Amino acid sequence: MIQQDLRGSRLSGANHKSLTTYETGLRQFSIYTGDPLASADAALAESPEFVMAHVLRAYLHLMGTEPAGLPIAEASLNAADHLPASRQEKGHLTAIRHLTHGRWQAASQVLEDVAIENPNDLLALQAGHLVDFFRGDARMLRDRIARVLPQWLPATPGYHAMLGMHAFGLEEMGQYSEAEASGRRAVECEPCDIWAQHAVAHVCDMQGRHRDGIAWMEDNAARWPDDCFFAIHNWWHLALYYLDLGIIDKVLALYDGPIYGTRSRIVLDMVDATAMLWRLHLRGIDVGNRWTAIADAWEPLADAGNYAFNDMHATMAFVGAGRPQAIIRVLETQKLAMTEAGDNAMFTRDVGDPATRAIQAFGEGHYAETVSLLRGVRNIASRFGGSHAQRDVLDLTLIEAALRSGQQALARALAAERAAVKPASPLARLFLTRAATLSLAA
């Protein structure tokens, strides 16, 4: 008997028991909670020829940009490649093959086609959405979901995830009121939908609504399960609000607690921890020995060269910890990455390499060089992935470098630009004051 998932997609090689376990994994993945990998493995233990369980296992090892995940994903692909599969399932396998070879754009388009033909394929939509995020493709973050939403009913399992993903895409496209409405509705449907929670957090950040953001996050934090593997990022968003308000003791408490108290070696967690310390560094705040632990975590990945966005954050940690040799390792690896096949060559060439060198220059006190490098990339920074909130670190570094290098006109212009976008932001007002003081001193 051919099995189907709860949304009507055929599942080759599954039986009733493995299907149930697989659905558990899909739900865990959709709310970033529990251990979806264990669920995929359990489904495969029951049904070794279950194609989509192999697919889920592969995606879970690919969507964290972990270098160690690539060979495991390839093994899952190889295990499924010879199995009988539907056209839909073969599309997933093709997307995974592209991802294991670093072809993010090609994988995105394959998953786009899978979802166009199968608009209720939750895994294709979520995997595609994450690929869009890692490519920094705001339009597809929104439109991949928007084009299939009419095919989803509120009673369809996973409907909350569609609303949450759409909310994030709307936010990245600057449609803030629509994004907030969709994100809040998703959380109403599923209080544990932490991706939707994070979409609304982004809206509050982009609009400079720090107090609203704090209330939204703190009022809902109790709903985040203890085994939520995306919670660190949401705690990071909460810390961003406090940082902009200048409540530094709260920022440090969040850092030492839920953000990096566990000393996670998961790359996405390391990115958040590093980005927060760098923002504190830009404010001239002494973070003590906190740089040491995060730099230690990045050291084994200095030669990874698989995702330029990570390289830049590793360099921040090495600057903070005073490890110039590790920075050289990153830059040498990036030179090699720019010569290789796969989309990371473009990510690195267009944004990653100049951004990384800008961070190095800032650490060495070469602020004018930092300005020169960042001005060339900040308007195209989406090409190496991340969200607007994450890439804001480039603008913050640019403003600080302009101030420190005494470029009064540029500093004044950049400060005014930021204040126009976030007029209620204390940090934006501080930049205006510092730029004005710089002008008077000149």
pLDDT digits (tens, 9 = 90+) for 266-312: 999 999 999 999 999 999 999 999 999 999 999 999 999 999 999 99
Q: Are 245 and 276 in contact (CB under 8 A)?
A: no
**Closest alpha carbon to 93 in 77, 116, 115:** 77
What does the pLDDT average to over 171-197?
97
| CATH code for the structural domain at 137-241 | 1.25.40.10
Q: Where are the domains of the chain?
A: 1-132, 137-241, 260-405
Q: Which residues contact 200 (CB under 8 A, 6 or more apart)?
A: 167, 179, 180, 183, 184, 187, 216
**What pLDDT score does 223 carry?**
85
Helix (H, G, I), strand (E, B) or coil at 192: coil
Q: How confident is the model at residue 222 (pLDDT cuts 50, 70, 90)?
A: confident
What does the pLDDT average to over 371-389?
96
Question: With 60 as the cut, is the pLDDT of residue 255 above it?
Answer: yes
DSSP state of 10: E
**Closest alpha carbon to 218 in 201, 243, 202:** 201
Question: With 70 as the cut, is the pLDDT of residue 353 above it?
Answer: yes
**What pLDDT score does 441 carry?**
61
**What pLDDT score does 386 carry?**
96
Q: Are 22 and 5 in contact (CB under 8 A)?
A: yes
**What pLDDT score does 1 carry?**
65
Here the tokens at position 91 are 């599309």
Amino acid code (one letter) for 220 = N
Question: With 60 as the cut, is the pLDDT of residue 172 above it?
Answer: yes
Question: With 60 as the cut, is the pLDDT of residue 219 above it?
Answer: yes
Question: With 90 as the cut, is the pLDDT of residue 226 above it?
Answer: no
**What pLDDT score does 442 carry?**
55
Amino acid code (one letter) for 375 = R
Tell me: the pLDDT tens digits for 34-84?
999 999 999 999 999 999 999 999 999 999 999 999 999 999 999 999 999
**What pLDDT score does 439 carry?**
65
Q: In DSSP terms, which residues pair with 10 in a beta bridge? A: 4
Q: Sign (positive/negative) of CA torsion 166, 170, 176, 177?
A: negative
Q: How confident is the model at residue 372 (pLDDT cuts 50, 70, 90)?
A: very high
Phi, psi of 332 (to 5 degrees): -65, -40
Share of the chain above pLDDT 90, in %: 97
Number of alpha carbons in the 13 Å side-chain half-sphere of residue 375: 14
pLDDT mean across residues, the chain:
96
Tell me: the pLDDT tens digits for 107-128?
999 999 999 999 999 999 999 9
**What pLDDT score does 225 carry?**
80
What does the pLDDT average to over 253-265?
97
Tell me: the pLDDT tens digits for 392-403?
999 999 999 999
Q: pTM, whole model, 2 decimals?
A: 0.96
| CATH code for the structural domain at 1-132 | 1.25.40
Phi, psi of 117 (to 5 degrees): -80, -25
Inter-CA distances, 147 with 65, 116, 125, 377, 436, Å: 27, 8, 11, 31, 48
Q: In CATH terms, are 1-132 and 137-241 the same topology?
A: yes
Angle at 374 between CA 202 and CA 420, to 5 degrees: 50
